[in-house]
Amino acid sequence: MITDDRITSYIHSLAGNDSDICMQIEHEALSEGVPIIRKEMGCFLKTILAEKHPKNILEVGAAVGYSSILMSENIDADAKITTIENYDKRIVKAKENIKRAGKESVITLLEGDAGEILKTLTGLYDFIFMDAAKAQYIHFLPEVMRLMKKGAVLITDNVLQEGDIIQSKYVVRRRDRTIHKRMREYLEVVKNHPELETTIVPIGDGITISVKK
């Protein structure tokens, strides 16, 4: 954890309930060990969506569809979400969940490797949420930047890696060292990119919020 457990629990106690379908999907995902956004991250997304009113939303990393469904319940009636997922089992579950939520007309699920799919997209987005393979963030960024219109918001999740981001690579487990290295590189790039204004926020597992200038 990068924040005190008691503070996190207190924040959760104030969060209130989401829709029945979101709570069902959240319970199923947690019981099956499927990573989904944390409750405080969900609350943050809802607040940003309420402030920005984006019309064209891109999500990189659908998992089982939880976050795209949560977002779909907190956007304007004419807004649309495109989400990408590569893992076959999660694609099946995401499709099922989107149908259960009645959001098939709002959410479009693209199946396949995000690195390849991003290259094929041609429209511009005013809100992008990136929550996919962490070691690939740095590789996704050029295409994500291309797809952002001026003033678009990019939110990237899990950037502080449970606090390991500040550790020496020799302290981090060997299997996690590539992610650790690439995430540090990603943070350096987005914080210093001439076309982005970026801040790092220690909420959940850490996020960056970037606005295209």
Three-class secondary structure of residue 124 per DSSP: coil
66 pLDDT above the threshold of 70: yes
Return mean pLDDT, the chain.
90
Determine what percent of the chain is predicted with pLDDT higher than 90. Answer: 73
Owner of token pair 């490797």: 113
Handedness of CA 67, 87, 21, 7 (dihedral sign): negative
Task: Check: CB of residue 22 under 8 Å from CB of residue 73.
Answer: yes
Question: What is the pLDDT averaged over residues 192-208?
Answer: 92
* Structure-token pair, residue 66: 């939880």
CA distances from 44 to 12, 18, 61, 115, 155 (A): 12, 13, 18, 26, 10
Query: Rounded to two decimals, what is the model's pTM?
Result: 0.90
